Amino acid sequence: VPVPLKANGRDLTQEILDSLAEKDSFKTNEEFPDVPQQEIKAALDRLGSRSMIQYDTLDSEQILLTQEGRMIAEEGSHEYKVWEVVKSKGKIAIKDLPKVVGADTAKIGQGAAFKNKWIKKDGDSLLPVADSPKDTAREILADIQSTKSVADPKVFADLKKRKLATTGKVITYNVRKGPKYAKEMVVEVTDLTADMLANGSWQSANFKPYNFKALGAAQNSGALHPLMKVRAEFRAIFFNQGFVEMPTSRFVESGFWNFDALFVPQQHPARDQQDTFFISDPSKADMPREDPIGEAAMDAMEGGARLLYQPKEPRKLVPRDYKKYFNDVKTVHQDGLFGSTGYRYPFSEDESLRLVLRTHTTAVSTWCLHRLAEDPRPARYFSIDRVFRNETVDATHLAEFHQVEGVIADFGLTLGGLMRFMEDFFGKLGLTNLRFKPAYNPYTEPSMEIFGYHIGLAKWVEIGNSGMFRPEMLEPMGLPKDLRVYGFGLSLERPTMIKYGVSNIRDLLGHKVDLGFIETNAAVRLDKN
């Protein structure tokens, strides 16, 4: 903060030089008791950098009066003010006192004045008792104000309790003349000009010294949004555990990929207007078919990872048949298939081809799992991206948010293994002692909500949803019966809110976000154990 040479019409720099003309040294708190610390320091540095003065910093604990303490020291205690009024009037109605001395003084002062026997009650009025009482409270505080100390610690403790005095750090500078001391600051030249070089005046000019301590101007720069910082942490955890990132760039899905392929019945409440944003234009999706863009993205991300698994039988790629897949999904819902009795309702192809803003990233997991059926093998997939729900927006809900999702496919997986994996995964985020609660998802059985004890919040918080995907979902894809798949999902917003101490989700995401909050937040470090 630049401090003007002449603050409040005073030229402090000159005053310091004047003081040193009279004495060899002084303490700033004695010489300039009313000048703010910052101005003193600026003036001292201005002179110090030119070797005109030298100074030492002395800091000490001092006893200081609060605003109320200062008022009493200057104007008298509340009880004294009450007594003064009662004495001068001879008699005053209790109800009139606040009008004369103010409500606070009337309230606090009366009690103490009674206790000190300075005044007494007479019906509804007050009468003076003492003639010329001693205002000890004021004397003590006035003494502190001048000496900045209290001899009796008990007295200080009492004043502190009454919020009349506190301790504070006081910085004082001990100032003395420097080797280049002069009675006035000489005019300083800031620029070396061609003229000065030509006429030789540069030789005698008094150049202003460089201030190497000056901070540069703040730079505008980009900043990662806190959600993206937490996302980076999650990604690192996933990558370290051999997960491959799924291609989530498609926000619009068909009802087929978002719901039907997940064995979500078409009458399920989550599908109707309350939770899902439907797209009206175009009115209809294509039938499920190959997706070359997603395919290329997944190939690139998986790289050679799939070849790490060597099946017992030589590898045989199973070509994908989308017509059969669609029909098997339909039959599983409508009539039952693969040993399942199904839901037994007439499956609507139109409903399946309605376009929706994806309500969960499990739509992408489903696509990746159907792709896995081409070459069934153990696989670990994850994604972190945006999902959309037609929900009432409040402090903890938005119509769009981010999901962190993981999928693990392997032979011989058990529920115990899922719980163990969850403990490891959340342990990396600093959440231990997980609790699992039976839950329901149309696409997983069993399903479990995951709760973690949050030490900072001192309570159990729901941190995720998980389960083992149902055969009704996996078998129409053509995955072998003994390949089991875990899935789990959580929001990215919840851990971010906990981490950054944000209690309203709208401060984190959406049009109300303060850009300063994004620019100034520290890099996140999840407390790992």
Give the residues lining the site for ligand PHE (CB under 6 A).
360, 362, 405, 441, 444, 465-467, 487-489
Non-local (6+) Cβ contacts of 361 within 8 A are 246, 248, 383, 384, 385, 387, 403, 405, 489
CA distance 41 to 47: 10
Q: Give the residue with the Cβ less far from ligand PHE, 110 or 362.
A: 362
- Indicate the DSSP class of residue 468: E
Place of tokens 């309605």: 354
Q: Is 70 exposed, middle or buried (0-12, 13-18, 19+ CB in 10 A)?
A: middle
CA distances from 195 to 190, 198, 199, 285 (A): 14, 5, 6, 78
Contact 445, 372 (CB under 8 A): no
DSSP string, 499-520: HHT---GGGTSSTT--HHHHHH
DSSP string, 398-456: -SEEEEEEEEEEEET--HHHHHHHHHHHHHTTT--S-EEEEEEETTEEEEEEEEEEETT
- Indicate the DSSP class of residue 388: E
Q: Provide the CB-side half-sphere exposure for 127 (13 A, CA).
A: 5
Element (H, E) at 138: helix 136-147
- Indicate the DSSP class of residue 111: H
Q: Is 478 helix (H, G, I), strand (E, B) or coil?
A: coil
Contact 463, 449 (CB under 8 A): no
* Sign of the torsion angle spanned by Cα atoms 409, 412, 418, 423: negative
Q: Show the tokens assigned to 269.
A: 């409440």
